[in-house]
Structure 1
Amino acid sequence: MEFRVLRYFLTVAREGSITGAADFLHVTQPTLSRQLKDLERELGKKLFNRSSHSIILTDEGMLLRKRAEEIIDMVDKLEAEFSSMEETITGDVYIGGGETDAMREIARVVKDLQISYPNIRYHLHSGNEDDVTERLDKGFLDFGILIQPADLSKYNYIDIPVKDVWGVVMRKDSPLAFKDTVQAVDLLNVPVICSRQVMKQTFSKNEFADWFGEDFDKLNVVTTYNLAYNAAIMVDEGIGYAVVLDKIVNTSIHSNLCFRPLAPRLESGLNIVWKKHHVFSAASDIFLKEIQEKFSNSLSDI
């Protein structure tokens, strides 16, 4: 199976038609159709349901699309790493993480590195812990930013010298908006919007559940979310109160929303992690050395 044919297949899947894909790839329609039929023959499976105007992926085609995207991503990353092995350091650094203000610490490292290594490119992937660790384990990411508590047994890691503060985002006209802080009892009789990570028991350790206490299971969770931006829209539309980290949702003077911290105060530390025995590109190795130096120095000053 050739990488070129996989790229052809992905283009057809994206365009939804042979004609559109052939135009995009600058190949003839008969050539592209023949390549797809050869691919189906090689795999022994039908990948498309064809009509006069469009094509739709079969279940086998959907599976191939997922695997082909992973393969092509890895090939592109490998090619980029080898192309960076020059006297002038170039290349790509892949970083994944959830929504957190700690990304500012990463941005400051990147900004400093740009002075000496302007040809290094940085690629950010947003996702929850499960998504980030899966991509780390498959080699699609070089580094991940995980909110504590997290399973660090498979990774090398360093603490990021900041903490995230937990609280509740709500409409400014809601009853709880007139309070300075939110206590557990305040959340018992209101609709609550929580991240899926918060609702998951992680290694029998869940900081929010521990903070809330024995009535955690009595929460009226009406919506779960993966990205806080979407949760903020639900709050703005009056669906409920969102348990989130501070500085993630827009609560400026022009926003309809406000943030109130939990009381007693609840904070979460963060780690930047990478696979043990991972072979870094020159660009990623430089980034690692920079964060080790800066974050270690910052922690020693605390």
Structure 2
Amino acid sequence: MRAISTVVDTTLFLLLLGGAVGTLVAGTGGLDAPPSGDDHADETATSLATTTVGVDYALTPRNNHSDGVSYGHSADFDRTAHGTVAGLLAAATRTAATLDGERIAPAGGGFERAVRNETRAAVHRRATAVGVTAVWEPYDGAPLGGRIHAGPTPPARADVRAARLTVDSGIEPANERAREAARTDGTDGVARVVAAAVVEGFFSPAESRVALRGDAPADTLAAHRYRRVARLTDAPALDLENGSVEATNARLTAALADRFAADMRDRFETPAATARAVSTGEVRIVVRTWSP
């Protein structure tokens, strides 16, 4: 496997998610095989991992009565992000993440569109069609996850070449802890480990604390994300004005762990198999090329 550095300096990424101003770092990734001279899929994957770009986008917060959130305005907020194309794709899988089909981040559509457009421009080739798909899931088939696709989809009978690249997701890898939890606490233990990693990744206490006490739209975006996940997981009522971030995250973690545990029991035969499917720390990017 050929290791490739994919460091992302995504300014204001956490603000896009609803947290404070911050930087997401996506670390080492790898291709399944080194590129050959005539394999456009491998060449393109290498380019995604090494080409640095900037994207302009807009936050688009909107009022949402089902979550009990009002922004008091409908303005867009212009932002810029920088990073490798692969790293920006990884960031976009998080802003596009859904739980049971409903978005977690309420204002990320502009960032995702900008990343798709930049990806299409970066992989454009004459006489070769290119499709790129990036997927993040905390475990295989989880009800929570994000997916971004840029470019066309190959026809059923096309002769397709494919290359795969992994990129840090920005969420703590939980594989080892999941395996230990499977041995000591079964599926419930694995679910708690995965839920804790996900909540920590989306609601980092330091950034969330600053965001909830910050200026608009960061404060409302952070509250919106919290209330949406609480609603989708049937978590207890959250006191975002007076309660601590740690207590709020603990409630979300417990509720999300219950949701994951029920799904894991339906999906996997044993706790050990469940733990092997955990992939919180990586985004999988697949590049497909074919003759149009």
Answer whether TM exceeds 0.5 for this pair. Answer: no
Instruction: Give the TM-score normalised by structure 1.
Output: 0.25
* Structure with larger Rg: 1
Of structures 1 and 2, the one scoring higher in RCO (CA 8 A, sep 6+) is: 2
Instruction: Give the TM-score normalised by structure 2.
Output: 0.26
